[in-house]
Every structure is written in structure tokens, then in C-alpha cells.
Amino acid sequence: MTSKALDIEFDKAVERINAHTEPFPADMLLRLYAYYKKATNNYERPSSRKPIINAFKTNALFQIKDVSEDEAKRIYIDLVNNYFLYRK
């Protein structure tokens, strides 16, 4: 997949997530958060008012520290596709 095609698929996946109105499981949210941040090269600190949530987000980011930007996009796309394919 070309870089441009990957970016288009990633943007579509992000739109699907943003358009979804039902709550996501917490573990899914953390995975989406981490891969999105990595894919977009956004290294701002987590900004929740609850320290425990910031700790979970920081841990999620730490777990994928060796993933490249393009690989993060691919994984994010796969997470989204699998979620909508297998959710109940």
C-alpha cells in the first residue's frame, strides 16, 4: 500500500471511530488512543483531569514505543475494521 493510500485508509478509519456513538470498551479506547497518537506523531502529554487515566494512556503509549508511524496507521486501521466486524 502506498503512503498516500495508507493515509486515506487511516483517515477513513478515524472518521468511522469519530462517527460511532456507542461507548467503546476501555481497552479498545486505550489501544486506539495509543496508535492514533503514534500515527499522527502527536507526543503531547495526556491531559485527563484524572491522574489514573493519564497513567493508563502513558502506559499504552509506552507499550508501542518501537512501532513506526506507518505501522501504527496499519494497526489502527486493523483495530477499527476488526472492531466493527466482530462487535456484538
Q: What is the DSSP letter of 24?
A: P
Q: How confident is the model at residue 86 (pLDDT cuts 50, 70, 90)?
A: confident
Cα 43 from chain centroid? 13
Q: ∠ CA 39-46-33 to the nearest 5 degrees?
A: 40
For residue 88, the model assigns a pLDDT of 54
Domain boundaries, the chain: 3-19+27-86
What would the pLDDT profile of 32-84 be if each residue is shown by its tens digit?
Answer: 999 999 999 987 888 888 889 889 999 999 999 999 999 999 999 999 999 99
Q: Which residues contact 18 (CB under 8 A, 6 or more apart)?
A: none
Rounded to whole angstroms, what are the CA distances from 76 to 50, 51, 52, 88? 25, 25, 24, 20
Architecture of domain 3-19+27-86 in this structure: Up-down Bundle (1.20)
